Chain A
Amino acid sequence: MNDIGARAADVARASYGRLLALLAARSRDISLAEEALADAFRLALEHWPQTGVPDNPEAWLMATAKNRSIDALRRISRAPVETYEELPDVIEEVDDPQTIPDRRLALMFVCAHPAIDAGVHTPLMLQVVLGFEAADIGRAFLVSPAALQQRLVRAKRKIKDARISFQLPERSDMPERLAAVLEAIYGAYALDWLVQDGERDMSNEALYLARLLAQLLPNEPEIFGLAALIAIANARMHTRLRNGALIPLHEQDHAQWNSMLLKVQLPSSNSDVSSWKPPFSRPMSRASRIELQTGRKSSCCRKRSACSIQRQARTPIALQRCPKSKGLRLPYRNLRSSRRRLKHLSSRWKQHAPLS
């Protein structure tokens, strides 16, 4: 049973967002899709111990969730049921670069629609697409989970009742929604930042989504900066903790850094980094000051040493030096307000990682 439970948990981790995005796109009803998918996972835990895990667990979950949705729609006799019948049983990968290659990204852009309360764009993506609990998101955004939950419910209802399109926005409309999408990707990374191997770990997902997004919008330097930041910080995953305590960057064993992640290739960029303007700037927060102070104190950051790229990524340093800082909002806002640093990071990254 434990094995089955673990297998179901694996599938949930790997596929939840994808399955939900496909289901929700058909009914345009996120709450309904969430309920149907939760039912499907519950049924999997009931059935799989007897029947064994199916060869394609995603297809099983998809078919089950689809049936649950059709049942639910029949019960409330509302939306046309046939919308579900054409839902594919397998999750196809789309190769056309003009379409969003991952349905999750499409759903994230839906969550950032300007007709939805702007303050809930990022929490909505984190909950609906990236599978975080409202309680964790509330803590990160410094709002009470109950209040956040209420706003999330309202946003989902608005999407359904106002018939917000699940089609991808035009490319020209994407930049205005981009900040919230980037914040959610960074949030997925930051919320699980201290998680060790074997536990739930969204950092690789965050890197995957950031790279996909870079492919989709090659003129947006901020995406490249974010992808680079996550890759570089992830490279240090195994060296940042010793006996549960955080280790400052300059005391970490550099040989243990994941060199593959430092060389991750990004799609070629047409972006002119010098023209990049930060979306907004704000007064430096306390965390930002700590970050800069620790950055100065760190010998690694001061010396012109070989680890030139790591020098640039100081937001994670701030977190390492300041373990009490749990807010995902603070670090990313800091990052965005530090225009010069991010520009530098972006250009360094491009020099370092030869573009394919």
Chain B
Amino acid sequence: MRYTFLLYSDPSAAANMTPEDWAREKEVYGAYIGALQQAGVFVDTDWLHPVETATTLTMENGKRRVQDGPFAATRETLGGYFVIDVPDLDAALAWAEKCPAAQYGKVEVRASAMGSI
């Protein structure tokens, strides 16, 4: 059975982190990924830019609407995810537009932060 871990944390804690803190953080996650790989259970992981860099897209009512910021949850809850590799946000939004979930819900798009620190 495949399981997905959704990682939640308080972004204000990250705001005061020093480069040394980040290096330690990378080590800790590296060790965890290593352990998963060694156990043969690792599938994929990613680290995302903070929530304020999110873009939300919906095709509800047949009209494409794009807005700055994260999806503010109301009745909808997280139901799945896709990871794609494209050159920029517009290419990502073009695929988000075709995602079936956009027809009846919202797709929050966030860039990978891997390699940015």
Chain A residues near B (Cβ < 8 Å): 78, 113-118, 154, 157-158, 161-165, 167, 169
Contact = CB atoms under 8 A, between A and B. Distances in A.
Interface in B52-93: 52-55, 66-69, 87-91, 93
Given A114-B67, A115-B68, 11 more contacts: A78-B115, A115-B66, A154-B52, A161-B53, A162-B89, A162-B109, A163-B88, A163-B111, A165-B90, A167-B88, A169-B90
A162 B55 contact: yes
A162 B53 contact: yes
7 contacts: A114-B67, A115-B93, A116-B68, A161-B111, A161-B116, A162-B111, A164-B89
A117 B87 CA distance: 22
Contacts of A163: 87-89, 111
B68 A157 contact: no
A162 B116 contact: no
A94 to B, nearest CB: 21
Main SS of chain A's interface residues? loop
B113 interface: yes
Interface residues of B, number: 22
Nearest to B69: A117
A78 B116 contact: yes
B88 A158 contact: no
Contacts of A167: 88, 90
Contacts of A157: 52-53
B110 interface: yes
B110 A162 contact: yes
A118 B69 CA distance: 11
Contact of A165 (B50, B53, B89): B89
B68 A158 contact: yes
Contacts of B68: 114-118, 158
Nearest to B67: A114
A163 B109 CA distance: 11
A254 to B, nearest CB: 48
Contacts of B88: 163-165, 167
Contacts of A154: 52
B49 interface: yes
A116 B69 CA distance: 8
A169 B66 CA distance: 14
Nearest to B50: A161
A164 B52 CA distance: 14
Contacts of B52: 154, 157-158
A206 B55 CA distance: 31
Contacts of A165: 87-91
A115 B111 contact: no
B91 to A, nearest CB: 8
Contacts of B110: 162
A131 to B, nearest CB: 24
Nearest to A164: B89
A161 B49 contact: yes
A175 to B, nearest CB: 14
A115 B92 CA distance: 12
